[in-house]
Chains A and B, each alone.
Chain A
């Protein structure tokens, strides 16, 4: 009993994860023999497939538009379809290393995530100070003669029912802006870590044949993409089928590419990008590497703003 609990505590995602963690230390799995496992466990060693080799027979569906520095090589990834039960990839896509293979700066992901949480925060907590509490203008009793302690008002902070001396004062805003380049780098680091850990998937388009949410969930479970999926596409218009399929689903969400942010990427286990999205993201994120410092805000038109 206790061994079963300890085994379950060990394995965050079941026996497979336990074998993964354990195998980094020792060669054998040290699972107890009387371990009872649920049947829908996923083995990452079976689902994680190696990146496409250089001489893969499948066609190269997309190569990078921007120039890649000479000492870096593009990141190669499989391109799948969203619907259908076949797990054969359609082709191979090349991704720019300066967006999808930047060094994993976890401290930047932390700062961007904290910024996303707090810049919108306004705390409305407010307490009344002794001057705002109703009453308390008159001296309760004479200074001398009554035998009691001397007081000036009945609403001073040492009184019961008096004002709060150092409480929260009024709506407080926690707004601050991280530099634009830090926020851009946060997006790049988040995308790179998703690629490195195998949680980023590329899909040719979002056209699925049935608007049934159950079909979509089955396809995702069959491909073993994870519990939650974030689907990103360029533009506001999504195909009607996928809109209907994801409308009732809580764990599968659609966003346009301009709405891509670090918090959503961390919250969802898998991120799915379409081929036009890759071009959009690379263009927008790479521009900041070699831009001039702004003369006037970027909201106003610039000739080279992507």
Chain B
């Protein structure tokens, strides 16, 4: 496709005939600056300086916000109810639609030939996760399930049934795994963590209320039995009406079968290792007590 060459902008041609742009010629765009209000000056700003006439308004002794002259104010007359009680203990999951995932893959921001992790999604600026705001990760939402057509090995924290079906229909693999808040913070911003010089910590196992979710094969939990997962894949294929592709005969079988250990945060890095980015080295512990702790 040949584009017609655009001639250089007329403004640059006009500039050739004008005096040299120097420190004495600069001016802000007309209309960009506006003078602020000056109270107590002149005919209109002066006199009472915009405070009104006498009373609490002019004298600055108005009561506090919400006060209604003595009767019970609105914000006290409504009874309390625990709408937001325990809000800081409720895990939140940033939604990621299959439509957005397809968009990211099409634009090349996320690479489908490597396992898709939360780190890869954040590096491609597909999602923004805030671990300090009670975010526990990303959840796969089924909007765009009908247009999704990419074979990926994806790892999220929660997924709906239709989203799991859409991924497995295209021959991909989906796993749901748990990251505790500290591991999540390290996962989404690995470089600032490596610069801290601390050893990679072990990923914590889920709490009591999340264990049933991650051990159930229907959710493709990382703690579930692989045999049950295989049966669940067949059942889902029958439910949604598609043919399940055999992964062992796939050319990308090695990539699709890459799974993280239950205590591992990064692919290729084990807990206990220290990454030195300045000298491009990885330091591994040698003491047996330390090794036993990190590999337990």
Chain A residues with a Cβ under 8 A of chain B: 12, 20, 24, 70-73, 97, 101, 103-104, 106-107, 109-111, 113-114, 190, 192-193, 196-199, 263, 266-267, 269, 292-293, 295-296, 300-302
Roughly how many angstroms separate A24 CA and B18 CA in the complex, as a whole number? 10
Q: Are A101 and B15 in contact (CB under 8 A)?
A: no
CB distance from B141 to the nearest CB of A (A): 23
Interface residues on B, range: 35 or more
* Chain A: CB-nearest residue to B17: A24
Q: Is B3 part of the binding interface, using a Cβ–Cβ cutoff of 8 Å?
A: yes
B residues 151-203 in Cβ contact with A at 8 Å: 188-189, 191-192, 195
* Chain B: CB-nearest residue to A189: B21
Binds A, one of B5-13, B80-88, B285-293: B5-13
Known: A300-B192, A301-B191. A106 touches B125 (CB 8 A): no
Roughly how many angstroms separate A263 CA and B22 CA in the complex, as a whole number? 9
CB distance from B126 to the nearest CB of A (A): 11
Q: Are B191 and A106 in contact (CB under 8 A)?
A: no
Q: DSSP majority for the B interface?
A: loop
Q: Is B20 part of the binding interface, using a Cβ–Cβ cutoff of 8 Å?
A: yes
Q: Are B11 and A103 in contact (CB under 8 A)?
A: yes
Q: Are B191 and A300 in contact (CB under 8 A)?
A: yes
Known: A71-B5, A107-B29, A113-B23. A196 touches B15 (CB 8 A): yes
- From A20, A266, A293, A300, give the contact of B22 (CB < 8 A): A266
Q: Is B76 part of the binding interface, using a Cβ–Cβ cutoff of 8 Å?
A: no
User: Digit string of B19-56 for contact with A (CB within 8 Å is 1, else 0)?
Assistant: 11111001111001000000000000000000000000
Roughly how many angstroms separate A161 CA and B20 CA in the complex, as a whole number? 51
CB distance from B202 to the nearest CB of A (A): 24
* Chain B: CB-nearest residue to A113: B26
Q: Are A196 and B16 in contact (CB under 8 A)?
A: yes
Q: Is B122 part of the binding interface, using a Cβ–Cβ cutoff of 8 Å?
A: yes
Roughly how many angstroms separate A199 CA and B3 CA in the complex, as a whole number? 31
For residue B15, which residues in chain A have a CB less than 8 angstroms away from its CB?
A: 104, 193, 196-197
Roughly how many angstroms separate A142 CA and B189 CA in the complex, as a whole number? 70
For residue A267, which residues in chain B have a CB less than 8 angstroms away from its CB?
A: 22-23
Q: Are B28 and A197 in contact (CB under 8 A)?
A: no
Q: Are A110 and B28 in contact (CB under 8 A)?
A: yes
CB distance from A126 to the nearest CB of B (A): 22
Q: Are B27 and A106 in contact (CB under 8 A)?
A: yes
CB distance from A227 to the nearest CB of B (A): 11
For residue A103, which residues in chain B have a CB less than 8 angstroms away from its CB?
A: 9, 11-12
Roughly how many angstroms separate A71 CA and B2 CA in the complex, as a whole number? 9
